Amino acid sequence: MKTLVRPAVTLFIVLTIITGALYPLVVTGIARVAFPEQANGSLIAKDGKPVGSVLIGQNFTDPGHFWGRPSATTPQPYNASASGGSNQGPLNPALADAVKTRIAALQAADPGNKTPVPVDLVTASASGLDPHISPAAAAYQLPRIARVRGLPEAEIAKLVAQHTEDRQFGILGEPRVNVLKLNLALESLRK
């Protein structure tokens, strides 16, 4: 029995040290050298202080800012520790009610805007953390933001165009706008 237990325990300890300590340290070290921004959370800083990550959406509700996709996380929106979709299918009455409520809120915030509401402004992403909106969703919000900020729509549209990211490698995904980056650029227009 002793001849079986001792090698098993020794192997367990050696593998625990290799896979539980050495391997994570080596991978983290390589990541920090090769991809320092990503390894540190892809943080965005303003005046030297982190204000968010390009990877996780934020809950903007002020009418003078662009609003992102709704978040399906609880207990608060964009809770990275509770990432996940709502798991509501297209025929679920709860999803239909949530979409109707979100459309009503968008129309109440900008009653003069009669254009159709883009789908990404009323439905959550699969993770519930999506930091991007479509260029159409940004364009939908232009009149409200221009009116609240007292700026010409063309100036804000130019800012949206500057912050629109193309498809990755020219083929993957859709054009998108990072809401946090766009709102930070929008804040710089004030100065």
**pLDDT per position as a tens digit, 137-174:** 999 999 999 999 999 999 999 999 999 999 989 889 89
- At 87 the pLDDT is 72
Angle, CA of 134, 137 and 138, to the nearest 5°: 90
Provide the mean pLDDT of the chain. Answer: 88
Same-domain status, 118 and 166: yes
Residues with Cβ < 8 Å from 80, sequence gap 6 or more? 56, 73, 129
Same-domain status, 119 and 186: yes
Same-domain status, 21 and 85: no
The answer to whether residue 60 scores a pLDDT higher than 70 is yes
29 CB-side CA count, 13 A: 6
Q: Where are the alpha helices (DSSP H) in 18-89?
A: 23-34, 36-39
Q: Please give the share of the chain, as a percent, with pLDDT higher than 90.
A: 46
* Residue 26 pLDDT grade (very low, low, confident, very high; cuts 50, 70, 90): very high
CA distance 186 to 182: 6
- At 38 the pLDDT is 82
Tell me phi and psi for residue 166, to 5 degrees: -80, 175
The answer to whether residue 51 scores a pLDDT higher than 90 is no
Same-domain status, 127 and 182: yes
Looking at residues 56-61, what average pLDDT do you find?
A: 86
Same-domain status, 18 and 77: no
Same-domain status, 123 and 47: yes
The answer to whether 67 and 142 are in contact (CB under 8 A) is no
pTM of this structure:
0.79
CA distance 153 to 146: 5
Looking at residues 119-148, what average pLDDT do you find?
A: 90
The answer to whether residue 114 scores a pLDDT higher than 80 is yes
Same-domain status, 101 and 151: yes
Same-domain status, 26 and 64: no
Same-domain status, 34 and 60: no
Same-domain status, 57 and 24: no
Lowest mean pLDDT segment, chosen from 50-54, 131-135, 160-164 = 50-54
Number of domains in the chain: 2
Same-domain status, 30 and 103: no
- At 86 the pLDDT is 67
SS3 39: helix
The answer to whether residue 191 scores a pLDDT higher than 60 is no
- At 46 the pLDDT is 84
CA distance 83 to 80: 5
Output b/e per residue, 127-141; b: 16+ Cβ within 10 A: bbbbbbbbbbbbbbb
Same-domain status, 11 and 49: no
CA distance 183 to 19: 42
Q: What residues make up the domain containing 167?
A: 41-190
The answer to whether residue 50 scores a pLDDT higher than 90 is no
Q: What is the pLDDT of residues 94-113, one digit of tens each?
A: 888 988 999 998 998 888 88
The answer to whether residue 190 scores a pLDDT higher than 70 is no
